[in-house]
Amino acid sequence: MKNLLSSATLIALTLIFLSGCSGSKDVKTPSMTNQISKELGLTNSQTDAGLGAMMMLSKDKLSADDYSKLNKSIPGGGDNYINKATNLGVLPGSVGTTADVVKVLTKLGVSPVQAAKFTGTVLKFTGSLGGSTFGLLSKVF
């Protein structure tokens, strides 16, 4: 009887533990920065600066309403990437074209070939997010 009670307790505790793990909000999915960095072989700082440069250009080119939608739809927030890029030395107002995004990346040590692939990789990633993110970025890039 004692063995049966111990087994039942063990099973109950296991089920409680497993039910707490499945669907847990603490499980982290790879971030946008991590996924793009991995795909292109960049550091997270290089990717953050590139994403920030793209968001700077988007903020300049999109209507305030469209930029607000884009900002909210970017994982982590578009303005967050602008702040990271600014902290890494990208000056607001210095990004006026897609070529400027490439320049930002090459100044941070990214090869021209990898830098040229950056915006396409970001667009591919945002296409997998669903919603309006891809469409809004496509208006700029």
**Amino acid occupying residue 136:** L
**Amino acid occupying residue 79:** D
Q: Tell me: the pLDDT tens digits for 74-92?
A: 999 999 999 999 999 999 8
Q: How many CB atoms lie within 10 A of CB 82?
A: 23
Is 70 exceeded by the pLDDT of residue 32?
A: yes
Is 60 exceeded by the pLDDT of residue 13?
A: no
2 — pLDDT class (breaks 50, 70, 90): low
What SS3 state is found at 85? helix
Q: Tell me: the pLDDT tens digits for 97-114?
A: 999 999 999 999 999 999
Rg of the Cα trace of the chain?
A: 21
What SS3 state is found at 130? coil
In this prediction, residue 79 carries a pLDDT of 97
In this prediction, residue 113 carries a pLDDT of 94
In this prediction, residue 106 carries a pLDDT of 97
Least Cα distance to 103 among 66, 67, 49 occurs for 49
In this prediction, residue 17 carries a pLDDT of 37
Q: Which of 24-28, 36-40, 58-62, 122-126 has the lowest mean pLDDT?
A: 24-28
- Residues sharing a CB contact under 8 Å with residue 110, sequence separation 6 or more, in sequence order: 42, 46, 50, 118
25 — pLDDT class (breaks 50, 70, 90): very low
